[in-house]
Amino acid sequence: MRFLGVTIEKQQRQCRSSRRMYIETGNLEIPFVETLTQRLLETSELRLDSVLKKAAFWNSHAQTPLNERQRKIINRLFDGFDGPLTSSKWAKICKCSPDTALRDINDLIGKGILTKSASAGRSTHYELG
């Protein structure tokens, strides 16, 4: 629902700026409804694509042994993760030690589920492979 709310808010801001063009004709609501409908369709398509990718991933990894922490983070990555995934974020989200987070990450890299960024040191982050 948050995804839809953000889309509507963005659309309202865009329409406020374009209202000046339509005030002269007196036909303000039709462009807003048409544009809103278009944006909602685009948003729905993006969300559906995301859900289908997530379902395909879990179907292909149904037999892959994963612990609960790994499942939790993978689901978060598919559902929209803010910023890059780092081992420290992993540890905070899963409430585990940094060493455990790094072991979980390395396990997923070994299984081909995550990939490590080219950057090193404190800039190291991970993405779905």
Digitized pLDDT (tens) for each residue of the chain, 129 residues in all: 455 555 667 666 666 655 555 544 555 556 667 777 888 888 888 788 888 999 999 999 999 999 999 999 999 999 888 889 999 999 999 999 999 999 999 999 999 999 998 887 788 999 998
Q: Global pTM? A: 0.67
Q: Which domain holds residue 26?
A: 2-60
Q: Of 15, 39, 60, which marks where a domain is finished?
A: 60
Query: CA Rg, the chain, in Å?
Result: 21
Whether 87 and 117 map to the same domain: the answer is yes
Is residue 18 domain-shared with residue 34, that is, in the same domain?
A: yes
- Whether residues 82 and 45 fall in one domain: no
Residue after which a domain boundary falls, among 31, 60, 89: 60
- Burial class, 34, CB count within 10 angstroms (exposed 0-12 / middle 13-18 / buried 19+): exposed
Q: Is residue 38 located within the same domain as residue 78? A: no
Using the 3D structure, point to which of 41, 60, 79 is the last residue of a domain: 60
